[in-house]
Structure 1
Amino acid sequence: MNKPFKRKDIANVIDYSLLTPNATYKDIENLCKEAIKYNFHSVCINPYFVQMAKELLRRSGLKVTTVIGYPLGMNTTEVKVYEAMNASLNGADELDIVINIGALKSGDLETVRKDISDIISATPEKVHKIIIETCYLDNEEKKKAVEIALEAGSEFIKTSTGFGPQGAMIKDIKLIKDIVGDSAGIKASGGIRTLRETLKMIEAGATRIGTSAAVKILTEIKEGETIERRKDFKRKD
């Protein structure tokens, strides 16, 4: 963890997000152009735009991420499975899936487990990130959600949709990391808008960052500049 960051290291872990309901075709086109320019890992967009983004990114090598059951997670499992399969057919590479929060908080863990398992089973070739929406859960519920997602075969645990009252928190990244170890990635998302916040999330254990402020974050680092991880946290307010 002492190795310094370069600009490309930050870019390579960012899912550049645009999930607002009023995003236009032009907005998606600009998002993809910027993603190519800065070489982000992926763009994260609503399912309607998957085909468009796939075509725009076709020669870039960048991934297309979309969201399933977003942002509430309260669709039936059958609807979520169809949504995931349709997104996959349209070209999505990675699926960010919101859990059934109400079922989890009701103690109906079997419904939560089946919800996740059925989606993953229907799209086995994709990368799955299970959004547990930490702002609505106590620590015990967070642990159960993470454990269920791991048992179902999820490759990532994601903190937040960005639509809840609170986004990614350092304490939640650490809690998730304690459970998953190196067995799954962690995506921090929601409210991350500065380089300092990004670095702190990565230091805590995040291996992917979801943000709509990706360009702003990356331009805080000059070309060729390296950023010392712990030192940088103290240097920038």
Structure 2
Amino acid sequence: MIDHSLLRPDLTLDEVRAGLTTAREYRTASVCVRPSDVGLAITELAGSEVAVGTVVGFPHGSSSTATKVFETGELVALGAQEIDMVIDIGRLRSGDIAFVQDEIAAVVRAARGRAVKVIFENCYLTDRQKTAGYEAAEKAGAAYVKTSTGFADGGATAADIALMRRTVSAAVKVKAAGGVRTLDALLALHELGATRFGATATATILDDLASRLANS
């Protein structure tokens, strides 16, 4: 259920390689790397079952739609298997739901069948804005709705995960990101409906799981 996150802007190439090794060793669902690291991740994870994901319009979501579409196409051509895109937060806060839906749909088309996870940065939104955004994402063909980038003022909360799961149909999955650093936190959000987790504390979480299983 974990997308091992390697998105910090200060990561060196050696640190990215170490993170990719962690993902391979712990057999995470995917890695989520910076766009410039997609080629490296494809090479380093060749032969593993770890999917390579990356981000579009990250972290603020304020790139033009054309830029997000171009970026998505380029990253898919490089081999990215999953795309985590940030919505235009200001447009959603302004009530321009049609723009948000059309932009997500454009990225979904550019992804050519790869899973698109739509990041909402929930800490900036009211519940009404969140609900409208999640509904727009489903109509646009998104595979996931996602809580946050992990780089804003807040991350995944129980209330938001519950609201996401209530709003979208079973066809759309929920990803929690931002502040999921322990096994107990992950399991609590999973109970509320999240099935993917963006995490940097992957080793800590999965070592705890292995210890509990060994002692059960």
Report the TM-score when normalising by structure 1: 0.88
Name 1:48's counterpart in structure 2.
36
Equivalent residues in 2 for 1:1-237, closer than 5 Å: 13-222=1-210, 225=213
4+ runs deviating over 2 angstroms: none
SS of structure 1 residue aligned to 2:132:
helix
Contact (CA 8 Å) 2:145, 2:175: kept in 1 or not?
yes
One-letter identity of the residue aligned with 1:35:
A
Q: Per-residue CA shift, 1:194-234, capped at 9, x if unaligned?
A: 11101111011101011111111111122681899xxxxxx
Q: Please list every run of 5 or more consecutive structure 1 residues that lacks an aligned counterpart in the other structure.
A: 1-12, 229-237
SS of structure 2 residue aligned to 1:175:
helix
Cα drift, residue 40 of structure 1 = 0.5
One-letter identity of the residue aligned with 1:24:
T
SS of structure 2 residue aligned to 1:128:
strand
Distance 1:220 1:130, change over 3 A: same
One-letter identity of the residue aligned with 2:133:
A
Q: Please list every run of 5 or more consecutive structure 2 residues that lacks an aligned counterpart in the other structure.
A: none
Cα drift, residue 24 of structure 1 = 1.1
Cα drift, residue 28 of structure 1 = 1.3
- Number of residues paired by the alignment? 216
Whole-angstrom distance in 1 between the partners of 2:13 and 2:68: 25
Q: Per-residue CA shift, 1:62-88, capped at 9, x if unaligned?
A: 100100000000000000001111111
Q: Sequence identity, in percent?
A: 38
Whole-angstrom distance in 2 between the partners of 1:102 and 1:24: 32
SS of structure 2 residue aligned to 1:219:
helix
Q: State the superposition RMSD in angstroms.
A: 1.5
Name 1:3's counterpart in structure 2.
none
SS of structure 2 residue aligned to 1:162:
coil
Whole-angstrom distance in 2 between the partners of 1:128 and 1:222: 30
Whole-angstrom distance in 2 between the partners of 1:136 and 1:92: 28
